[in-house]
Amino acid sequence: MSPATHRPSRPDARLRAVLITLALILGVGWLVHGLPGETPPAREDGFDVTRHMQAQRVATRFREAVNLQHAGHPARALPIWEEVVDLAPTLPEARVNLGFTLLDLDRPRAAESAFRQAIGLRPGQANAHYGLALALAAQARFTEAQAAMRSFLRHTGPGDPWLARAHKLLEQWPSENCETPASPAG
């Protein structure tokens, strides 16, 4: 064979290198995380990889829902809050935020349920009492709303930014004998 007819097969060598690299990456990834849908291997130090990955997912989705809510997109935030509640059913903050989203969507009964669930998980969750008061007031259940707002006042601190608003709402909401809220002086 002449040198002109025999060339080293560079494309084959490159392809082989790519395949070996890919196999190494997949192999190392499998050792670290397992195949998709598989439970990651237990670690000797007791670190629960699955739990850590779920906590990261909850934190990521929580931030996404907060950002959507603050950007004025409660309808887009709602399914994310529902997912966060499913992923972390004992996290009262997720239920509180779900409740405020439901209030923004004019669903006070569902919001009431979310706030009550948060209070059941953590009775001292002040913002859950505040949200419950708003949900009850939205249903014209002012006596219950006042009780919930007083509970908020008991569970919050003096520096709470919602403190003044809570006092103002308590003054505006009608007493037991009235059916409609008093109009603010102005």
The full set of domain ranges for the chain reads 59-176
Over the stretch 113-165, which tens digit does the pLDDT of each residue have? 999 999 999 999 999 999 999 999 999 999 999 999 999 999 999 899 999 99
> Residue 59 and residue 25: Cα distance in Å, rounded?
27
Angle in degrees, 0-180, between the axes of helices 92-104 and 74-87, rounded to the nearest 10: 160
Q: If we measure between CA atoms, which residue out of 140, 136, 87 comes closest to residue 113?
A: 136
- Given a cut of 90, whether residue 80 has pLDDT beyond it is yes
59-176: in CATH 1.25.40.10: yes
Could you tell me the pLDDT band of residue 55, with boundaries at 50, 70 and 90?
Answer: confident
Position 183 confidence tier, pLDDT thresholds 50, 70, 90: very low
pLDDT at 21 over 90: no
